[in-house]
Amino acid sequence: MRVLVLGGDGFCGWPTALHLSDAGHDVMIVDNLSRRGIDAELGVRSLTPIEPIDVRLAAWREVSGRDIRFVNCDIAADFDGLCEVLGEYRPEAVVHFAEQRAAPYSMKSAGHKRYTVDNNVNGTHNLLAALVDLRLDAHVVHLGTMGVYGYGTAGVSIPEGYLPVSMRADDGTEVEQEILYPPNPGSVYHLTKTMDQLLFAFYNKNDNVRVTDLHQGIVWGTETAQTVRDPRLMNRFDYDGHFGTVLNRFLMQAAIGYPMTVHGTGGQTRAFIHLRNTVECVQLAIEAPPAKGERVGIYNQMTETHRVDDLAKLIAGLTGASIEHVENPRKEDPSNELFVKNSGLLALGLKPLTLADELLGEVISIAERYADRCDPDKIPAQSKWRLPAPADVG
Ligand code: NAD
Ligand code: USQ
């Protein structure tokens, strides 16, 4: 299959592009390298040394004998450029990772909020409008988030995208319907993913665009079977307060002897998935496209749920690292339950990897290897969800 990977230079996109290429698909990457630019803006760098995209691609050619082409294009700002790539490559599937994905970065300032909305909503809309305009019947596989649902579910398992409801019609009869699960985003970033859902629903209804939306949990791990084949293929590892996600941050903090930064009570429960399962799920999704006319397919792409505090305790038990409960910079429930249905991807053949000691140990040893690249000043989360009250200003 010809697969276009939008955002294929990023943390999930790069290993996915390699995995799909290794599986025999023809892969082309589109990326504007904005994520590398944001590292420069924030004065941080990936904990692991990552090569420029041309070096990465040459290394893949050397070790696999397979070509992955690359086009530098901003899918949100350069509609014509995007159309040109789509028109020439004529992909059968488009995997869409190309969004600003960090909640703290999206809440950093009015400028960062606006950038996140402009980039994510325009990028997704440009893709859909371009496919329709070019009359291309490519299957769009989008990386969405579990965060579209909100996390407090009062003991009810979150369904895969759609909620069955029954309503009483005016004539008194009972009407059954399935609706998109009510969105409840917790950051401007998560808000853009709820907007993406409406864009998909509309283009699917109006133009029969075939879409699968993967509502993914927090990804952890850093390497896959392909990225370990050559040091030049190494994946990025975000540890800083804006882009580092909780489990990789805790593993890295434990590795360098920095107290694990539990926000508030640590009672927040979230969904998780290992990076190796991420790349497998994308392959499963592209190889099981919905039929023309079928509604947007939604899968909950996660394998387990954990409380933040329990993760810290587990890692403390493994490593002897200490835990610090810091003031929570976010506006989120101090604790919540989370039950999630994920039978769709399991039915397609996903074999879940869970928090086994050896997988945790692998991340810790990578973090130890590159500990000297870490700038401890960049670890604290500085982006605050709420502005200080007017009385506290000036
Ligand atoms: P990332 O920031 O590492 O990668 C995103 C890539 O997209 C980057 O290489 C960036 O340069 C590119 N990009 C961004 N805007 C673009 C644009 N306008 N045009 C072209 N390229 C653009 O993020 P990631 O962790 O790989 O996440 C990928 C996707 O998966 C995101 O959409 C994210 O919301 C979703 N996701 C990630 C996680 C996670 O834990 N990392 C969890 C759930 C969902
Ligand atoms: N947290 C800590 N300490 C830290 C970092 C985070 O306690 O040092 C807490 C946060 O307050 C939050 C939880 O851990 O309660 C998760 O935070 P996170 O930064 O790991 O995850 P999040 O902001 O939700 O975003 C990440 C990805 C995003 C993806 C989302 C999936 O960056 O792209 O969409 O996970 S989900 O969380 O399921 O919505």
pLDDT tens for 131-154 read 999 999 999 999 999 999 998 767
Q: Are 98 and 7 in contact (CB under 8 A)?
A: yes
Distance (Å) from CA 246 to ligand 2 centroid = 6
Confidence category of residue 393, pLDDT binned at 50, 70, 90: low
Task: Give 156's Cβ-side CA count (13 Å radius).
Answer: 11
* ipTM attached to this prediction: 0.99
**Is 394 among the domain residues?**
no
- Residue 335: predicted pLDDT: 95
Distance (Å) from CA 31 to ligand 1 centroid = 10
- Residue 251 above 90 pLDDT? yes
- Residue 394: predicted pLDDT: 55
Which is the closest atom of ligand 1 to the Cα of 123?
A: 18
Question: Tokens 């004539």 — which residue?
Answer: 171
Q: Give the containing element (helix H, strand E) for 162.
A: strand 162-168
Q: Give the containing element (helix H, strand E) for 274.
A: strand 269-274
- 341 as an active site residue: the answer is no
Mean pLDDT of the chain: 96
pLDDT tens for 71-113 read 999 999 999 999 999 999 999 999 999 999 999 999 999 999 9
- Residue 392: predicted pLDDT: 63
Confidence category of residue 389, pLDDT binned at 50, 70, 90: confident
**Is 33 among the domain residues?**
yes
Determine the average pLDDT of the residues in 223-245.
98
Lowest pLDDT segment from 90-99, 242-251, 254-263, 380-389? 380-389
Which position among 193, 194, 227, 299 bears the catalytic label?
A: 193
Which position among 16, 145, 261, 269 bears the catalytic label?
A: 145
**Is 393 among the domain residues?**
no
**Is 392 among the domain residues?**
no
Share of the chain above pLDDT 90, in %: 95
**Is 195 among the domain residues?**
yes
Residues 171, 172, 178, CA angle at the centre, nearest 5°? 100
Cα separation of 28 and 68, whole Å?
Answer: 5
- Residue 390: predicted pLDDT: 74
- Residue 297: predicted pLDDT: 98
Residue 225: how many CB atoms within 10 A of its CB? 12
Helices H / strands E in the chain, number of each: 12, 14
How many domains in the chain? Answer: 1
Task: Give the range of the structural domain holding residue 310, as residue numbers without chain letter.
Answer: 2-384
Distance (Å) from CA 304 to ligand 2 centroid = 14
**Is 143 among the domain residues?**
yes
Indicate the top mutation candidate among 220, 245, 383 to test ligand 2's pocket, ranked by most ligand atoms within 8 A of CB: 245
- Residue 387: predicted pLDDT: 81
Cα separation of 336 and 338, whole Å?
Answer: 7
Distance (Å) from CA 100 to ligand 1 centroid = 6
**Is 240 among the domain residues?**
yes
Residues 283, 285, 288, CA angle at the centre, nearest 5°? 110
- Residue 151: predicted pLDDT: 84
Output the ligand 1 site: residues, CB below 6 A: 7, 9-13, 31-35, 74-76, 97-101, 119, 123, 143, 145, 216, 218-219, 245
pLDDT tens for 182-200 read 999 999 999 999 999 999 9
Lowest pLDDT segment from 29-38, 203-212, 260-269, 380-389? 380-389
**Is 389 among the domain residues?**
no
- 305 as an active site residue: the answer is no
What CATH number has the domain bearing residue 146? 3.40.50.720
Cα separation of 363 and 11, whole Å?
Answer: 14
